[in-house]
Amino acid sequence: MNNKQEISPKDITVVVQGPVQTFSDREQELGITQKCLNSVRQFLPGAKIILSTWHNQDLTDLDYDQLVLCDDPGTNIRAYNVDGTPQMFNNNRQIVSTLDGLHHVTTPYTMKLRSDNYLISDAFLHLQQAFPKRCNEDRFFNERVVVINTFTRRYAKGLPVVFHMSDFFYFGRTEDVIACWKMPLIEDFIATKDTPYNIGFPDYSIDCTQMLFIRAMQQFDQSFTLNGLLDNNPEKQIFSDRCFANNFVIADPQQVGVGLCRKFVVKARVSRTKGKVAHWQFKEWQQLYKKYCDPNFDLQYPIFAQYKLFLQRCLYVFPARLENKRRLQQRQKKVSVNK
């Protein structure tokens, strides 16, 4: 793996987006944004920091170069529960605070970083340049964008899923990172007689990360579509795999150089083995890279490590398939009863 070039921190803008304290009943870890900003100064000295947050936030002792204050679009409704209550999300808030910050970037490279995460190294610089080969099919970006595998799921409810890309961290060419967030705000889901709960019911609604990824990638190809969380077939799987291989680098937070806030590391399922093994692993992404982009890539992935991951999934991931089948049947029954 040979670097194409050395990326100077002076060529990087870090857009730190989100609240800097508890906002609209969403609890924020005390001092986490200050820790975030200080970590950027430590690991990217000379980089520009844009803090994109909301009006009336306490900015005391926060170290940034440019401030972007966003108008709050409020929550959005993506689906309804079977009891008729709406499912509320902060997707539009994330889109606004991210895009408003990105639109002020003038450097060649950009990082999108949540205000409640932080850097622990500059490993992402190497990763972004370490896999230069690309294939022509489904090549959407100028260069690769580095993401973390936290919530970049390979499995959900025990079953394979597609287009399930994390929305926590992005690093790459500025135009490519902007493309990952170039989308209109999400309109509230309107229940109808044919779709009273969510599109694809009784399947679950597509995950927020799937939705954001699909909406962004549709600017390149309208084939990015899903009818539900578990909507999958061989063609969609290949499409998703090739897109991941050809446009991104997926690795765990430590390999990328990202620290997660306390709520994602203390007793959170996503940080336990059960959660981690459902995500794409760095070596698995490298398998995709070798398959679709560089057949000569020297992949060092011992059989023992592959077997260990498979056994962990047999223990923690695959058993959920039976439970999921039962839950889908229950969802359908509840609808019949309500009718």
Range 61-75 average pLDDT: 96
pLDDT at 1 over 50: no
Give, to the nearest 10 degrees, the angle between helix 234-247 and helix 282-292. Answer: 100
27-228-100 Cα angle (round to 5): 45
Q: Which residues contact 272 (CB under 8 A, 6 or more apart)?
A: none
Bridge-based pairing state of the strands 86-89 and 76-80: antiparallel
Which pLDDT tens digit goes with each residue over 43-59?
999 999 999 999 999 99
Which pLDDT tens digit goes with each residue over 264-308?
876 677 778 899 999 999 999 999 999 999 999 999 999 999 999
pTM of the model: 0.92
Mapped onto helix, strand or coil, the DSSP state of residue 30 is coil
Distance (Å, whole) CA 53 – CA 42: 22
Average pLDDT score, the chain: 92
CA distances in angstroms from 102 to 15, 146, 196, listed in the order given: 7, 16, 36
* Contact between residue 165 and residue 248 where contact means Cβ atoms under 8 Å apart: yes
